[in-house]
Amino acid sequence: MMAWSPWRSNRSWGMLDHNERGRSSPRQETVTKRREQQSARSGTSSSNSPVLPVTPEHTTSLQEVLTNSAIAELLAKEAETAKQPLQKALRRASRRAFLWPEEAAQLVIEGRSLEEELLGVGPYLGRVIRHWIQNPPLMPEPPDIRADFLTVPEARSILAKNPSWRRHLKGDLQMHTQWSDGSGSIEQMAEAAAGRGYEFIAITDHSKGLKIAGGIDEAQLLQQALEIENVNRMLADTSRPVHVLRSVELNLDPRGQGDMDEKSLARLDIVLGCFHSALRKKEDQTQRYLAALRNPAIQILGHPRGRIYNFRKGLTADWSQVCNLAAELDKAVEIDCYPDRQDLNVELLKVAKAAGCRISLGTDSHDPSQLGFIDLGLAAALWSGIQPERILNFMPLNQLSKWIANIR
């Protein structure tokens, strides 16, 4: 495993796995020191206090403590007591903080504008964030619904330590188009993938049971296959050919059964199965996952927990049992790389690694511009210690096709 510090991740706020609990991380020691310094002050500063200049002696502690993930948590906490429309702005900025390309603290240190460079930040929030950076508050521990999400700078930092990791990547195995709830055409998604040097992508529009997302039925799936065939023919004659796989995001019920005719699914190149209902149950849901993995129609179990940042915690299960069955059946569990999902997360990826099951990376892109979300999944897999030979996206297309044929 690479020597990337967990200071700059939400995991450092109590989301350590069972083997790490009880040990103090460098970031925890820094936070403790910060709290000791703050306790010596006469009260804590409010967001209306005078803004202090950033001085050189602040720089190290700012970069170590108040990361974008920390700011995201502070924004989310503020939203819990704010009134509309401020509450909405705070929640939106909290989500977007994970996509900020640079650490906000670094922008402040360099005297750059938060409002001009960061999504979701207007004049008021810019003042609040600058104040937090210049007067770091006591950091709350994020609840499970907001824990263990990587930011873009964190992901880039992880990947920078191992530049060869990204070079293994051959494709993206989850994305949506205008056929369901996406904004791009199949051709546009394929061209964007070709621009990234991919060998393949899978078009996984929603199946008919998910009407809210424009799910397609068997007849539409057949029509889509003809369009994919035309796009593949066109791309084959270019200098950067990328092969488009016929797929679908199959809507699974709590019994692990899909909503499409099995003959239609058998015509596809690969099938991603996902749960979209009864996702707030608090009881153990192990059996639904085992049933889904035993469904012969699917090869990949997509966004397994069903979590969404600051909206839904997702389901609980005996993940060791789930991943062990996936390994036994030689099926894959997914890292949905969409920033709000990041599902599986780092903690559960370590369980998947221990079981030895295969991993699939899918950006869940709904627009060509979102293919870059793959870095969040690549970083999570690397940080979790997943072996490259267990990642479907690192396989050449012919090897991926053989794997699919073997488990069908």
Which pLDDT tens digit goes with each residue over 310-325? 999 999 999 999 999 9
Q: What pLDDT is recorded for position 264?
A: 94
Q: What pLDDT is recorded for position 367?
A: 96
- Exposure string of 6-29, with b = 16+ CB inside 10 Å and e = fewer, is bbbbbbbbebbeeeeeeeebebbe
> Cα(16)–Cα(132) distance, rounded to whole angstroms?
25
Rounded average pLDDT over 83-103: 97
Q: Is the pLDDT of residue 36 over 90?
A: no
Q: Is the pLDDT of residue 44 over 70?
A: no
Q: What pLDDT is recorded for position 5?
A: 28
Rounded average pLDDT over 273-300: 93
- In terms of Cβ atoms closer than 10 Å to its own Cβ (0-12, 13-18, 19+), residue 270 is buried
Which single residue is written with the structure tokens 């990234």?
196
More confident residue, 266 or 47: 266
Average pLDDT, the chain: 86
Report the range of poorest mean pLDDT among 27-31, 58-62, 277-281, 364-368. 27-31
pLDDT in tens, 7-30: 233 333 322 232 333 333 333 343
Parse the chain into domains and list their residue ranges.
6-149, 162-407
Kindly report the number of other CB atoms within 10 A of residue 146's CB atom.
Answer: 23
In this prediction, residue 52 has a pLDDT band, given cuts at 50, 70 and 90, of: very low
pLDDT in tens, 185-227: 999 999 999 999 999 999 999 998 887 888 899 999 999 999 9
In this prediction, residue 138 has a pLDDT band, given cuts at 50, 70 and 90, of: confident
> Cα(203)–Cα(225) distance, rounded to whole angstroms?
10
**Which token pair is 407?**
């488990």
pLDDT in tens, 325-356: 999 999 999 999 999 999 999 999 999 999 99
E-strand spans in 281-357?
Answer: 300-301, 332-336
Q: Are strands 332-336 and 243-246 parallel, antiparallel or unpaired?
A: unpaired
Q: Is the pLDDT of residue 37 over 60?
A: no
Q: Which strands form 249-252's sheet, in the order they lie side by side?
A: 249-252, 272-275, 300-301, 332-336, 358-362
In this prediction, residue 33 has a pLDDT band, given cuts at 50, 70 and 90, of: very low
> Cα(258)–Cα(249) distance, rounded to whole angstroms?
10
Report the range of poorest mean pLDDT among 44-58, 93-107, 236-250. 44-58
Q: What pLDDT is recorded for position 214?
A: 84
In this prediction, residue 287 has a pLDDT band, given cuts at 50, 70 and 90, of: very high
- CATH class, domain 162-407, is alpha beta
Q: What pLDDT is recorded for position 64?
A: 54
Q: What percent helix, strand, coil does the chain show, rounded to 5?
A: 50, 10, 40
pLDDT in tens, 149-163: 999 999 999 999 999
Q: Is the pLDDT of residue 115 over 50?
A: yes
> Cα(334)–Cα(349) distance, rounded to whole angstroms?
10
> Cα(299)–Cα(362) distance, rounded to whole angstroms?
14
Q: What pLDDT is recorded for position 144?
A: 94
132 contacts 66 by C-beta, under 8 angstroms: yes
Q: What pLDDT is recorded for position 32?
A: 42
Nearest C-alpha neighbor of 6 from the set 59, 67, 49, 58: 67
